[in-house]
Structure 1
């Protein structure tokens, strides 16, 4: 016997699950809906099937092909227009020359089909309708049968006043081929609304078979949830188990990894390659399909998560459906009824209220609260670039394909025949994405020079020193999270890209406006020759080598397992410095470290400095850009004190010069500059502006209070190696222990707080704040700096990467600074609460 599987539905009530896929292809626990039906047919001896198609027909044809993978033979009939249930079967009449069974491809059932067919044949019926009893028949067509099993009446979705039976039509029929003669061709025609009432009107007998077992018409998302839970809970008799049973109502596919500290409470299904990380809590009924990663500290309840998703740390998903290839950042909270469509990205700390639905390819910003469904457009998608370049979770946000496209977007901004230098850290993720970036550049006619793995300052120096270099790229693991990769771009001067050039690259990327070079214009790829040696040679020309050599300094250096040691070790040897190196070996697993681990390393440096009576302790970040200091007494300096110290030493050695500093740094800088007939140039709170600052006349140094230093006489870019050696040079000239210099720095009293602020409110809030504080003297170089007096100020600035306003204050005492921060934070919160955005 043949079966007809009706698979033409578009599943409008299941959207966004069915956006981009036909309803029968929606997954149900371990398989798509239609596979469950096909396997049921096969288990009852039906192996030849006619599949009727309309909506996204090719998706089903491509998935099943001829059916041989299931041990079946499939025929496809595609409708050119909607033909209804009976009309679609009529469309396949040429393939139906004997008794056949009709079943929906988007329902879930375990009925005994052999029994239904046998009952049909024993009655000699021309049409048998399979009915079942349900508690609530209002959503279905009620079918009234007499004691003999003959259908006497149909009620299409009755009201309670019309209900006279709880038996409903399941859409499973056994029909004789002559029934097809009653169905008009090329016309929309329905079984229950038209064909069967027509047959009754003609006095033709229809048999109703009451089937026992499970049946669910998956017509909406609630029914989809119920069917998944029922299948997980064993209420559906399946031809084969859904996976390997590991106990506790937990079923798994192949290569599943579950951390020992994870807590799982069934029923739960975990598909192939699923990874459940540490301290995760999962409460069933929950489905997590193939190759999804559930990161640490997540709590997931009664949720359905499809394949190839990433759920970041410390999220809470309660009654949520996540479709394919979504990236959910840490600390996201999603409540009951939320549905997240394909390829969505939820930023860190986002909150989705109950029943919110996101259509595919939507982006929700970090900290955003979503109370309504997002169907068109995006939710706060801003830019490709952040302060750290292009950042994202590796193989989730940043894939090889994405990186190749990014390389092509950069290449389109550079003249053909010019060059780009590229570099990476030692991690395998960085290597993969670097090679993908390289693959996108030659096709745009760009030559690529590969520096392999060197410290970031070496790359910046190489780009600036070679005239044909129009850009530099550094690929690194984020120092804060080894799952995140940062791709950092530089211009021909080795400085971070301007916002204008970033927007050009973004425009090329999103429009896919890529340049394609002719065959003889395709760029070359080659390795750079001795970039570290070039850097060291130029470096030593900018240092008083003999003065440092004569001082015979002893220092402790923590390289943080980064690449700075490759260059700095040789430099310090040339300078005759006695070095105690720590963490000098590059280790892939140590390129990102927790703050606690970084602080522990600082304390280790401090202890060694004290025990060896070293002159100074120095700690680098992994990239060799940031510098952290420990004085000779083992005191770990905060970054602002370190910036003041470096400014004092530099201006003392070079009086009358200028130091560039960010707006939020304390007024102690001006007091230091006054001591040495210097001046302070205040610049915007952006690394790009710090790097542009060296263009100013007589600019000696630029500081940002976060461990970054620029010495423009060497090159106008952040360079931790140069900062470290300049510090040694200034120490030798000053002839004082660092602790004595620090003791004589002007006192600093500051406080800081972050106030949550939606992305969409930031612009309007800045306008309101300017009006609110118009009676004060205001500096608008970056954000809003309210100058209360010569010794007090409050700085209000939108955070460029997170949905927050930063509130900082300086005053005559720490207590006063804390009061100012609390007062202005409260005013900010009141303004946010009282103003519609």
Structure 2
């Protein structure tokens, strides 16, 4: 007698267990599920086996090979396109020349298959379905049989109203080879849906054999765990690898259990697993191969696969852990949580009940995982990045998330406070803005809806309406980039400080939301005329008549769909003649080409959010990044500012310019709040307001009677380079420590990152807060020296990533 094992299933309902392996390879007490199926077939006299494959076929082939190690002979038949249950068996027709059994490779049973085969032959049946009785038949095919075993009624996955029996199809069949004539070739064809109705229509009786014994289809994560608990209880007649060292306690070869470890039955300790003194292995715990369990760990009703590290004091309750995990000290995972392969959980992090982490995820120290992590790379305690909170739209940045974030923010504000809210023109941003408003209202905080507005406009609005805070939502990056950013501002219109960020994060992770009573629910009002008010205030900062007299001709590149009439009307009030290139259609080089015609005094390009600007001089020189920063500083100094704030990455000529005007240059961390805070008394933050920068450039040119190229040439020359060096998140801290140790005798500055001063230049090593990389800035008296400094420290970062943790 031969057999066919159906082993093509993906096991979607078992994810993340099946992200890296097919369902038949999911382990049960240290062995793949399919190994128990092969053992049952071998004991039943069916040692010649065909295995049908589709999903991750090489994983199954690689483990079982030709079957000789398991006492059987295996031939493999792979589907290139889905063929259904019956179609996959038809694909193995050349192998099937006698009576054969069909059985699933991803279910566990101890049925007496020989007794079923005898009944099949006694009836002279063409097809026999092995049935069993279950308490809840909704997920299975239900059958009613006559006294002689003939099936009179069959219904696949009924509702409760259609349940006419508790006798269900187990997916195990006994067929004569002639049944293959009823299955078409190379098309999708199922047993229950297609073959069985076809047989009955052609006058062939279907027989059912009600088997006694254990059967589990392992249809979901809860059933996966329960199946192993049943095995530990002895409910399944199957061979368990290892030795029984005490009643209902099994241990694999090479397992090491120190004195002082508590083992409560039933439990299973796989081979080469090491458990240190003081650990507590509670009932219904399953440990696979090569795990390390440190002192003080406590596990109950938990399944752990292979080669994982569980640190001191780890607490697992009803969890399922895949392979090669790293759980640092005092991690806790609770009922129904599932951790995929190669995840890393930082010390004192918590995975809440029913939360699932897909393979390769990292949970930061002290973080509480309230929801499943599927798409993102890591789950951090820090919600806030460099500019605010960002995520993928409708993946991790959802209305539900936004509402909870706003409720946490609202809890940090007094009852009755007002928050100005705005968004860009994107409909999803508008959806998130409304969710934020709802969350704030639930916390007893009012909102002032500023409509569609840029962040600089919102900064102005917060001050204008004297709100306690502001929130702006916008899409990030180019078209096709699905990231969404939520930016939070304080009452001065600058980004909130770290202390408030942490307060919001703590409230969010602890779900410590303030819920106002119905009399205190927040209200919404609308700020009308924001753009007009913002433009009027911009014009208050310049000499409009002087600018008008110059009749500047300006080439501009922006998205007119987003900005509407705002930019043309602003430039018209300044007496400027403007030519516009649509940023959606024109390349960056086209603006430079347009200015090079000699018709224009300058060119201007700004981003959709009105924060970033680039200038082109009358001589077609592009001014952006570091040279733009120097120009912004110079304009502030010319305008009479006695203080300028620049990031630690700025060129050293900033101090030279400030000294020339008798002003103070303040170096800060390279983030928006740090740069705006020293100048919060100024009407607009020049480094983060493109419109303000534009009108101040025109004002400076008009009052000085200089061309833009002449103004730029007055800035001393410098050589500043930037290099990005990839570095995994988990290596950043070690790289910084090793750099500090190496540079302890050098002249360094630790305002933001590590700034190293050398003769003729300096280098700044700055860990990126949002990406797994370092930014290296280097300035030298010559370009060659800057290149050498940047290259030297970029290489050090690469080298230190290769250094072992102990090194």
Bin the TM-score by the shorter chain. Answer: 0.5 to 0.7
Alignment of 1:59-208 (within 5 A): 72=158, 74=160, 103=170, 110=191
Aligned counterpart in structure 2 of residue 693 of structure 1, from 669, 678, 693: 678
Number of the residue aligned with 1:392:
391
The yes-or-no answer on 1:454 pairing with 2:453 is yes
Report the CA distance shift for 1:191/1:103 in structure 2 as closer, same or farther (over 3 A): farther
Alpha-carbon separation, structure 1, partners of 2:141 and 2:413: 42
Alpha-carbon separation, structure 2, partners of 1:106 and 1:555: 80
Deviations 1:305-328 (A, max 9, x none): xxxxxxxxxxxxxxxxxxxxxxxx
Alpha-carbon separation, structure 1, partners of 2:539 and 2:680: 22
Report the CA distance shift for 1:646/1:718 in structure 2 as closer, same or farther (over 3 A): closer
Mean CA deviation greater in 487-496 or 561-570: 561-570
Alpha-carbon separation, structure 2, partners of 1:387 and 1:16: 31
Deviation at 1:724, TM superposition (A): 0.5
Number of the residue aligned with 1:836:
805
Number of the residue aligned with 1:307:
none
Deviations 1:570-623 (A, max 9, x none): 332222222223338xxxxx5xxxxxx7xx533222222233621111111001
Secondary structure of 1:482's counterpart equals coil
Deviations 1:743-763 (A, max 9, x none): 342121122222232323323
Alpha-carbon separation, structure 2, partners of 1:345 and 1:171: 24
Mean CA deviation greater in 765-774 or 560-569: 560-569
Deviation at 1:463, TM superposition (A): 0.6
Deviation at 1:527, TM superposition (A): 1.8
Number of the residue aligned with 2:690:
720
Report the CA distance shift for 1:62/1:566 in structure 2 as closer, same or farther (over 3 A): farther
Number of the residue aligned with 1:518:
517
Alpha-carbon separation, structure 2, partners of 1:741 and 1:421: 38
Report the CA distance shift for 1:15/1:553 in structure 2 as closer, same or farther (over 3 A): closer
Alpha-carbon separation, structure 2, partners of 1:754 and 1:382: 25
Alpha-carbon separation, structure 2, partners of 1:832 and 1:443: 47
Report the CA distance shift for 1:684/1:102 in structure 2 as closer, same or farther (over 3 A): closer
Deviation at 1:529, TM superposition (A): 2.2
Alpha-carbon separation, structure 2, partners of 1:116 and 1:756: 62
Number of the residue aligned with 1:504:
503
The yes-or-no answer on 1:52 pairing with 2:129 is no
Deviation at 1:687, TM superposition (A): 1.5
Alpha-carbon separation, structure 1, partners of 2:208 and 2:600: 99
Report the CA distance shift for 1:63/1:472 in structure 2 as closer, same or farther (over 3 A): farther
Alpha-carbon separation, structure 2, partners of 1:405 and 1:124: 57
Report the CA distance shift for 1:49/1:661 in structure 2 as closer, same or farther (over 3 A): same
The yes-or-no answer on 1:549 pairing with 2:534 is no
Number of the residue aligned with 2:582:
583
Alpha-carbon separation, structure 2, partners of 1:810 and 1:538: 38
Aligned counterpart in structure 2 of residue 754 of structure 1, from 717, 721, 724: 724
The yes-or-no answer on 1:626 pairing with 2:612 is yes
Deviation at 1:461, TM superposition (A): 0.5
Deviation at 1:439, TM superposition (A): 2.2
Contact 2:196 2:206 in 1 (8 A): no
Deviations 1:447-483 (A, max 9, x none): 122111122211110111222x122111111134531
Secondary structure of 1:485's counterpart equals strand
Number of the residue aligned with 1:662:
647
Report the CA distance shift for 1:452/1:63 in structure 2 as closer, same or farther (over 3 A): farther
Contact 2:596 2:619 in 1 (8 A): yes
Number of the residue aligned with 2:474:
476
Contact 1:556 1:618 in 2 (8 A): yes
Number of the residue aligned with 1:401:
400
Q: What are the ranges of 5 or more consecutive residues in structure 1 without an aligned counterpart?
A: 1-10, 38-43, 78-93, 130-140, 142-168, 173-186, 195-340, 348-357, 369-375, 585-589, 591-596, 697-711
Alpha-carbon separation, structure 2, partners of 1:563 and 1:13: 44
Alpha-carbon separation, structure 2, partners of 1:63 and 1:487: 50
Alpha-carbon separation, structure 2, partners of 1:746 and 1:578: 31
Number of the residue aligned with 2:658:
673
Deviation at 1:539, TM superposition (A): 2.3
Secondary structure of 1:384's counterpart equals coil
Contact 1:657 1:678 in 2 (8 A): yes
Contact 2:538 2:695 in 1 (8 A): no
Count of aligned positions: 542
Secondary structure of 1:763's counterpart equals helix
Alignment of 1:288-299 (within 5 A): none
Contact 1:477 1:484 in 2 (8 A): yes
Deviations 1:393-430 (A, max 9, x none): 11112122222222222222221111111111111221
Contact 1:548 1:576 in 2 (8 A): yes
Contact 1:409 1:508 in 2 (8 A): yes
Secondary structure of 2:777's counterpart equals strand
Number of the residue aligned with 2:752:
782
Number of the residue aligned with 2:707:
737
Number of the residue aligned with 1:603:
589
Alpha-carbon separation, structure 1, partners of 2:339 and 2:546: 59
Number of the residue aligned with 2:422:
423
Contact 1:454 1:564 in 2 (8 A): no
Deviation at 1:170, TM superposition (A): 9.7
- TM-score, normalisation: structure 1: 0.56
Alpha-carbon separation, structure 2, partners of 1:500 and 1:768: 29
Secondary structure of 2:706's counterpart equals coil
Contact 1:51 1:74 in 2 (8 A): no
Contact 1:564 1:721 in 2 (8 A): no
Number of the residue aligned with 1:410:
409
Number of the residue aligned with 1:205:
none
Contact 2:644 2:679 in 1 (8 A): no
Deviations 1:7-42 (A, max 9, x none): xxxx999674389xxx99x999899999x99xxxxx
Deviation at 1:344, TM superposition (A): 8.4
Contact 1:559 1:565 in 2 (8 A): no
Report the CA distance shift for 1:30/1:637 in structure 2 as closer, same or farther (over 3 A): farther
Contact 1:52 1:76 in 2 (8 A): no
- TM-score, normalisation: structure 2: 0.58
Deviation at 1:367, TM superposition (A): 14
Deviation at 1:193, TM superposition (A): 6.9
Deviation at 1:817, TM superposition (A): 1.2
Runs of 4+ displaced beyond 6 Å: 11-15, 26-34, 60-64, 105-109, 111-117, 121-129, 169-172, 341-347, 365-368
Deviations 1:793-830 (A, max 9, x none): 11111111112122221112111211121222222333
Alpha-carbon separation, structure 1, partners of 2:783 and 2:362: 31
Contact 2:128 2:207 in 1 (8 A): no
The yes-or-no answer on 1:383 pairing with 2:382 is yes
Report the CA distance shift for 1:562/1:50 in structure 2 as closer, same or farther (over 3 A): farther
Contact 1:406 1:437 in 2 (8 A): yes
Alpha-carbon separation, structure 2, partners of 1:836 and 1:494: 43
Alpha-carbon separation, structure 1, partners of 2:695 and 2:540: 12
Alpha-carbon separation, structure 2, partners of 1:660 and 1:751: 20
Mean CA deviation greater in 530-539 or 469-478: 530-539
Secondary structure of 1:391's counterpart equals strand
The yes-or-no answer on 1:569 pairing with 2:568 is yes
Deviation at 1:690, TM superposition (A): 0.8
Number of the residue aligned with 1:337:
none
Report the CA distance shift for 1:555/1:367 in structure 2 as closer, same or farther (over 3 A): farther
Secondary structure of 1:515's counterpart equals coil
Alpha-carbon separation, structure 2, partners of 1:12 and 1:623: 42
Alpha-carbon separation, structure 2, partners of 1:69 and 1:435: 47
Contact 1:364 1:380 in 2 (8 A): no
Contact 2:387 2:671 in 1 (8 A): no
Alpha-carbon separation, structure 2, partners of 1:114 and 1:824: 72
Report the CA distance shift for 1:114/1:724 in structure 2 as closer, same or farther (over 3 A): closer
Secondary structure of 1:451's counterpart equals strand
Number of the residue aligned with 1:361:
357
